[in-house]
Structure 1
Amino acid sequence: MKNKEKYAECVLTFACDESGFGVYEKTGEMERCMEMHCTECLFYGKKETCHTSRRKWLESEYIEKPVISKRDRAFLEYLGTGINYITRDMDGGLFIYISKPHKLIDCWESSGCESDKSLKFFKLDFPMVKWSDDEPWLIEDLKQLEVVDNYE
């Protein structure tokens, strides 16, 4: 599904009002250009015009914004301040790291003098953390996600 299909109703409303729209970079929510500050917009500071950026965005694939459950979010609060990354290995296991790990054939490995720490004994989901990820998730980025009661 493309963004133009996902947001068709909003786009139609803005078109009927004869107003341009922007997308808040942090939340992904749409708003009339007149109602938001340019620096908050996803289309601000691009090489092309807002109009061109908006058109490209409408034609691009819709990407569901990840959310985090209350349970997973609470777990992150219990982690020590030195724990910075979380990954999922090919077999589905979750691991946390102090220093940034890199991907090997079937797992992630940190080059630091630490050993990885498995989370297999905790009942955690973190569905946004996938083996297919090119980079490990920063714990701080996960803490910024919208909190929901449960994953759907």
Structure 2
Amino acid sequence: MDVQEQVRLRVADWLARGGLRPTRQRMALATLLVGDGEHRHVTAESLYALSANGTEKVSLATVYNTLRAFCEAGLMQEVVVDGAKSYFDTRMDDHPHFYWEDTAVLTDAPAEELKIAHLPTAPDGTEIARVDVVIRLRRR
């Protein structure tokens, strides 16, 4: 099996895990996200810029909608920085992030070094769905 076929199968399997149809646009964007088997942190704008070099042209609105569909399907998670800037992460386990303020880049932080001793009790009728830890970095 050649590399292109391996990528196509990896992407099709990824979409199938989320119960999503493999449309041309989803396949094109998913190839950029998981085609090589590596994890990615992208913004809609950065994924749109990457897709401009491909053969399948997609609008920025389609990129936003597709990223939302990937999140709703449990294939990606959204990490919000500054209450307005969203990054989309293909790594689905619980892990902290570094946010590099000078470059506006989000990267994984070593989870084994993070210790959360206690979380506050959730209000009645609710449960904690997830805890996002974003550690902001600034160069000296």
TM-score (norm 2): 0.22
TM-score (norm 1): 0.21
User: Which structure is higher in helix share?
Assistant: 2
Bigger RCO (CA 8 Å, 6+ sep)? 1
